[in-house]
Amino acid sequence: MFRALLPAAALWMQPAVAQQIDDLSAALLLPQTVEVMRAEGLAYTDELAEDLFAGAPSAVWREAVDAIFDEAILLDSLLDTLEAEMTDAQIAAATAFYASAPGAEIARLELSAREALLDETVEETTVRDVGDALRDGERQAVRLTDYVARFGMIEEEVASAMTLSLAFTNGLRDGGALEGVDEATLLRDLYDRQPEIRREVTERIYAYFWLAYRPLEDDRVAEYIDYLGGAEGQALRAAFFEAFDTVYIRASRQLGLVAASQMRGSDL
């Protein structure tokens, strides 16, 4: 009898779970975040197409890229992973924090920083400004360095960037664009580029957090660091990292496959 009741119970629970993850999504401003992710993806793939195809992106390329960076697909993937990686209690705790005044302010500042960095001029200026601040030992720059170091963000992001690069080249190879190139060669090339990847990642991280957290008072930043360093914050960071990696690995591999098709002159 109880076994027969389980499907009905599961159906009854689904709306509550869906509402819980939707509340977290709203508190974290994820719908707005995927809009920025799409804009970032479209800008990046325009540059990629020029490098790979020596010309303006084709209509076929644009159509494929548009599908890869579809906002609904990006958001669904993020939420599916967050739901899978976090317990109900962790989701509720994260929602409560980011729905509070301090958490909501941080979410808005982080989103605004990411939006601002869509402008290449803003990014270049910010990289220069934060570099000057670091060399001069400014208090906010030191605060930022401590924050980045505490959570090992540079190493995390370098590893992620290398994984995404490998996913793209594997897509190229699987799509037939790198015939005769073995995985060992791809890995060797990737590790040869690690210093460049590290430099770009470091500049990007510092520019992003410089824009996001500079308006905050020291005590507000300290409180946020304490939150992220606690059990609830660590659970959210781990789930977030997995969610975004899942999205970007999929996108990178798909881009590699599409690029291979274009390079071979075949239809998708």
pLDDT digits (tens, 9 = 90+) for 254-266: 999 999 998 887 5
What average pLDDT does the structure give for the chain? 91
Closest CA to 165 of 121, 198, 124: 198
CA-based torsion, 136, 140, 141, 145: positive or negative: positive
pLDDT of residue 16: 58
Structure tokens at 188: 């060797």
The answer to whether the beta carbons of residues 74 and 36 sit under 8 Å apart is no
208, 113 Cβ separation under 8 angstroms: yes
Q: What is the pLDDT of residue 54?
A: 77
Give the pTM.
0.89
Q: State yes or no: pLDDT of 2 exceeds 80.
A: no
Q: What phi, psi does 162 have (nearest 5°)? A: -70, -35
Confidence of residue 253 (pLDDT cuts 50, 70, 90): very high
Six token digits for residue 4: 């027969």
DSSP 1: -
Q: What confidence category does residue 91 fall into, taking pLDDT thresholds of 50, 70 and 90?
A: very high
Q: Which two tokens stand for residue 37?
A: 């992710």
pLDDT tens-digit map of 126-153: 999 999 999 999 999 999 999 999 999 9
Question: Has residue 25 got a pLDDT over 80?
Answer: yes
CA distances from 84 to 72, 87, 101, 139, 239 (A): 18, 8, 27, 39, 9
Q: Residue 38: is its pLDDT beyond 60?
A: yes
